[in-house]
Structure 1
Amino acid sequence: MTKIFGHRGSAGTHPENTMISFEQAYKDGADGIELDVQLSKDGIPVVIHDEKVNRTTDSKGFVQDLTLRELKQLNAVHKFKKQYKHAEIPTLEEVLDWASRKQTIVNIELKNSILPYAGMEEKVLELVDKHKMAHLIIFSSFNHYSIARLNTLAPKIEKAVLYMEGIYKPWDYTKWVGGSGIHPHIKAATASIIHRSQQSGVPVRPFTVNDEKTMKRLFAEECAGFFTDYPKKAVQIKYQN
């Protein structure tokens, strides 16, 4: 059964990577949520997509130059100012605390392919262990060194390589770097790639799937899952088939 992941929560309709957005994705019936992790100046894993706060908050600067206290003072309502007065940047700990109570799957994307956050893997794993979430976690990263590192540190937790363009035999490649799944851009997720990969025991979860036609194709192909900004729409399509 194809699993639906709320991409940064319900990012199409709510402020991305905030508790408002994650809670909405859960209410909408998503099987899981996807979020992005950076590190604050004081080394705390925080949930925000960009290396800078410019796009999604009312401030400017690099996440890594701001302490958690400074980040918490920012307003992350992004383009949804009319609907919401305020939304905080959550810590990963806050999201995992909530997700562990809901028992919902969390795809944690480590945003360490542009800035090399030292010790990010260990810090994130520590929080996953603390909240006893290992069975509900999927790690992903465009930095495949990080996937290899995570595999050394936590071989039993599911990991997937993120990629944009064609990789030769990605189902073999992910195993080679220590992953067990693949998360390709939807344009790189052909029917053949999905079929051959899943026949090799490697689940495929493309991103970011927002149109109805593609959603229907992925359900028909029994793709393992996909990431969408509109989980409510995806859930409706899934159950009208």
Structure 2
Amino acid sequence: MNFLELLNKPELIVAHRGANSLSPENTLNALKKSIGRADFIEIDTQLSKDGIAIIMHDDTLLRTTNVSQLSEFDSKKPYRVCDFTFEELKRLDYGSWFYTDNSKAEPLLTLHDALIFIKENNLFLNLEIKDISYAFSDNEVVEKIVKEINDIQCSDRVLVSSFRHEYLKIIKTKLHIPTAALAEDSHPKELLSYLRGLGVDGYCLNDELVDKKSVEMLREAGFFVGVYTVNSTLRSHVLFEMGVNFIFSDSLYKDKQ
């Protein structure tokens, strides 16, 4: 089964940033805890200063690492990810902020290792490319991501999404892989024509933006629809009744197999 075949199944649950209520988000442990609890996993990728694809949501390291506790990095405030080399990023702890006893450290997760884990465990992955156009050219970002996917030979198990839609248009010229445009505050004008122009397979939108008419229009036009971030069981039922294909959740996990 490839990713597009998976998306034909109803009422899919996506582990948002991995099982992030059980382990620190975007870490290998969050991926491990997702097994049996979700239909596929969503994680975020961006580049280090020297162009290594790593797994990280925020554009700074403050929230999910111990960077502010290390005086050696004081000169790098406000701690933008793109200002740190891969070797510097590896010196940080990505886990103790999450645990109440502040004792468990987590290592940096690279895209390379995340893709290997997905392939070895027969999982499916929604890879969101963060908008890092302020630091790297669009082509450079896409080429790095495509190389990692090609190296691991896992394109049948990956869906690429982004708020920076330019990435999605470029990636379709380089790789046969499903893509999805992300939207937060408003729909692009002439939505269906816009999505067709990007060549995407799906559209993922903020729960506050979704309505039944739009979902029906998108589904009838052949696009898959995902909604983020949904942590209410009641709301998930409403969205699935609308025809939404999948929801991203921090807590609505399936029973572990």
TM-score by length of 2: 0.84
Distance 1:183 1:101, change over 3 A: same
CA contact (8 A) 2:219 2:243 kept: no
- Name the stretch that deviates more: 184-193 or 40-49: 184-193
SS of the equivalent of 1:204 reads: strand
Match of 2:91? 73
AA paired with 1:176?
Answer: G
CA contact (8 A) 1:59 1:74 kept: yes
Alpha-carbon shift at residue 181 of structure 1 (Å): 0.7
Q: Which has the larger radius of gyration?
A: 2
Distance 1:46 1:166, change over 3 A: same
Instruction: Find 1:6's aligned residue among 12, 15, 18.
Output: 15
Matches within 5 A, 1:157-168: 157-167=177-187, 168=189
Gaps of 5+ in 1: 237-241
Alpha-carbon shift at residue 162 of structure 1 (Å): 0.6
Match of 1:101? 120
Give the Cα–Cα distance (whole angstroms) in 2 for the partners of residues 83 and 213 of structure 1. Answer: 34
SS of the equivalent of 2:159 reads: strand
AA paired with 1:186?
Answer: D
Identity %: 26
Match of 1:121? 142
Match of 1:26? 35
Aligned residues: 232
Give the Cα–Cα distance (whole angstroms) in 2 for the partners of residues 166 and 88 of structure 1. Answer: 36
Q: Deviations over 1:145-183 (max 9, x none)?
A: 1111112222x2111111112314533321212212101
Matches within 5 A, 1:178-197: 178-197=199-218
Matches within 5 A, 1:1-241: 1-28=10-37, 30-60=38-68, 61-77=79-95, 78-82=97-101, 85-113=104-132, 115-118=134-137, 119-154=140-175, 156-167=176-187, 168-232=189-253, 235=254
| RMSD (Å), alpha carbons | 1.7
CA contact (8 A) 2:46 2:132 kept: no
Gaps of 5+ in 2: 1-9, 69-78
Give the Cα–Cα distance (whole angstroms) in 2 for the partners of residues 72 and 148 of structure 1. Answer: 32
Distance 1:166 1:41, change over 3 A: closer
Give the Cα–Cα distance (whole angstroms) in 2 for the partners of residues 21 and 141 of structure 1. Answer: 21
